[in-house]
Amino acid sequence: MVVGTGSAGAVVANRLSADPSVRVVVLEAGKRDRDPFVHIPAGFSKLMRGPLDWDYLTEPQQGLAGRRVYWPRGKMLGGSSSMNAMMWVPGFAADYDAWGEQAGPSWDYAHLEPYLRQVESGPLVISEQRSPRASTAAWLTAVRECGHRVEEPTSAQPQGFCQTRVTQRRGARWSSADAYLKPKTVRKRKNLTVLTEATARRVVFAGDRAIGVEFDHKGGRTVVTARREVVLCAGAINTPQLLMLSGVGDHDQLARHGITTVAHRPAVGANLLDHLVVPLGFDVPYDTLFAAEKPLELLNYLLRRRGMLTSNVGEAYGFVKSRPELELPDLELIFAPAPFFDEAIGDPYLNHAVVMGPILLTPASSGVIALRSADPYDKPLIDPRYLTDPAGADREALMAGLRMCADIARSPALRGTIGRIARPLDATELDDDTLARALETVSHTLYHPVGTCRMGTDDASVVDPELRVRGVRALRIADASVMPTLIRGHTHAPTTVVGEKAADLIRSAH
């Protein structure tokens, strides 16, 4: 029994159902991924706030002037891999070694690297961009002029900047569902059942053993029983919510909502980590995705799978240190040749513009996912607590990254191209006052929540190194929620790796 078809869930369902003696039932709360904007790479923002989006909002953020931050999550076949920016950035070897320190050596880079190579050479298709903008090349020239290195995106310890590799096949999105659930050989398996528009309500227990999942489907409520195990792959928000609705969580919080405790696990929903980005916006005269919806671009895409609509928006990035004494980078700088303002959900920006900004990779601040009520349709409370670390290190690091972006914007390669400051609003100079205002007013999630059901060898962890939920039996978790720390990269790659390893752990247990 698998809940969720995202970056890990699709993998788990595929790998387990490869054994014809095993019957696998998969629940997906969302619909099929038939909307054309799922498959047209540059169209992913059209999905935001729509029926294929969970459409979450955080609690007001003290560190961001009290703003509530929009958190999109994919609610469809493929999960968030069907609406992300398709960036394949697996992170540093040292990030996985940090997992190994917390969850045992089988989770270090040496043990996970074979899974990463298997994914990259197998079902997922990792491609170079087909039609990157000339402004992206100019930005990479500018970062070189500012003393940064430009390199190929293949290293286990990246040292500089590059164009983004993307999860695309012939210019179209290639999601985890495309890779692991849709191939004909998988769809024909008689032992695999994938139910869409099937909302999991709770895990059903007999004593401390998970025996199935109660879910709503086609107007009715059903329980599917699991002879072996239940595997939750619903992501860093929905998995802890589902655990708590099922009685696995902090006893006091569950009691407040009238939920009987099956296992007292206070860490469920805690340790919420996310990457925060601060996008500075600039008007430019031409060559941006502002023109991506023109008829000729649509024709170019439909006939040749070329042109602006193949863009993933975040076309280039690089890793830097906010302080030279750091052993590894703590910031990523990202570039988008598009007016990607207000997370693309505000009023359309009627001009050519580009965005560049720092991403905080290793935040000292952490937050929590909590229940708002015992109703599974009531969105959970999401409080990432951005920039609340007492020492102020997160804010200081992002300010250093913003200053780097200001230097890049002033470089010779962009002279005559970078124009008026478009974000933050009403800014005229790239001074510290403007950069601090950007941090407060335009920063938002980079869509990488992790850690809310962290794995570890310690008794306080939610899952053990085999991904089994502590305190109960026959229940595992395989998604970004088990990651004890963020990686210096983007979460699609490591979440897929978690799915591959989880499938091996489950198969070896039976």
444 included as an active-site residue: no
CA-to-CA distance for 239 and 376, rounded, in angstroms?
12
Q: Measure Cα distances from 48 to 70, 344, 478 in Å.
A: 10, 8, 25
148 included as an active-site residue: no
* 3-state SS track over 96-125: HHHHHHHHCHHHCHHHHHHHHHHHHCCCCC
**Which burial class, exposed, middle or buried, applies to 379 when counting CB atoms under 10 A from its CB (0-12, 13-18, 19+)?**
middle
Task: List beta partners, residue 280.
Answer: 356
* Amino acid identity for residue 196 in this structure: T
Phi and psi at residue 139, to the nearest 5°: -65, -40
Question: Of 39, 275, 444, 448, which one is the catalytic site residue?
Answer: 448
| Strand pairing report for 230-232 and 2-3 | parallel
Question: Of 39, 275, 444, 490, which one is the catalytic site residue?
Answer: 490
Residues 314-329 as b/e (b if ≥16 CB within 10 A, e otherwise) read bbbbbbbbbeeeeeeb
* Amino acid identity for residue 96 in this structure: Y
Task: List beta partners, residue 444.
Answer: 277
Q: Measure Cα distances from 471 to 104, 253, 452 in Å.
A: 19, 17, 16
The answer to whether 196 and 31 have CB atoms below 8 angstroms apart is yes
Phi and psi at residue 296, to the nearest 5°: -65, -35
**Which burial class, exposed, middle or buried, applies to 45 when counting CB atoms under 10 A from its CB (0-12, 13-18, 19+)?**
middle
CA-to-CA distance for 445 and 442, rounded, in angstroms?
10
Tokens of 446: 């980079």
User: Which residue shows structure tokens 């655990």?
Assistant: 243
User: Which residue shows structure tokens 């890779």?
Assistant: 179
> Which residues are tagged catalytic?
448, 490
